[in-house]
Amino acid sequence: MDANPYLNQKFIEFPLSKFKLTLILLGALCFVGTGIWLVSKALKAVPTFPINRMFLLMIGFASILFFGICTVAILLKLFQKIPGIIIDANGITDHSSGISSGLIKWDDITHIDIVEVSRQKLIMLYVVNPDEYIQRHSNFLKRKASLFNYQRYGTPLGITTNDLKCTTQKLHDVLKSNWEQHHSLVFDAV
């Protein structure tokens, strides 16, 4: 294994990518615009087929609501000053997604893997106490999303690099090296 330049540093930060977030924001705004267009079309349509009109209204309002919430969340993330991922002696602090779990302690992590879901790679952090990480979320939807991850992948903790200034492989390698270093220090001390 090659020497890791990130080892032995006090902490490592992976910042959020403003460019990637801006692209995602533009996509969300396009869907909000499409929703507005669908609603306006439905309201102007001749009511000969009320089912089609109702369908357009439902799809339009759903698009406006969902992607409007996404737009607000992305805007908040764009102006946030904290890095997406911070790695230090305590563990990994995740601020990279909507269901981030904050500090994930090295001692809680049993292993780290990459899984591919719908052609998107995720770094999964398997922990000894998954319920504790699920219950951290006070928001019902975030708790349900974490529970879904746990039921589907065996862990509630997944990190995507979609919003980060790094590749999945680079982040995985840095996480794994630091986790292995932490565990070797713990076992050497015993």
Give residue-wise pLDDT tens across range 15-67: 999 999 999 999 999 999 999 999 998 888 766 666 788 888 999 999 999 99
Kindly give, in sequence order, each residue whose CB lies less than 8 Å from that of residue 190, ignoring residues fewer than 6 positions away.
Answer: none
Helix (H, G, I), strand (E, B) or coil at 181: helix
Residue 178 burial (CB < 10 Å; 0-12/13-18/19+)?
buried
What amino acid occupies position 170? K
Closest CA to 12 of 94, 86, 77: 86
What gap in Å lies between CA 63 and CA 184, rounded to an integer? 49
| 8-state DSSP, 16 | B
**Entry pTM:** 0.75
Dump pLDDT digits (tens) for 77-107: 888 888 999 999 999 999 888 788 889 999 9
Say what the pLDDT of residue 35 is.
96
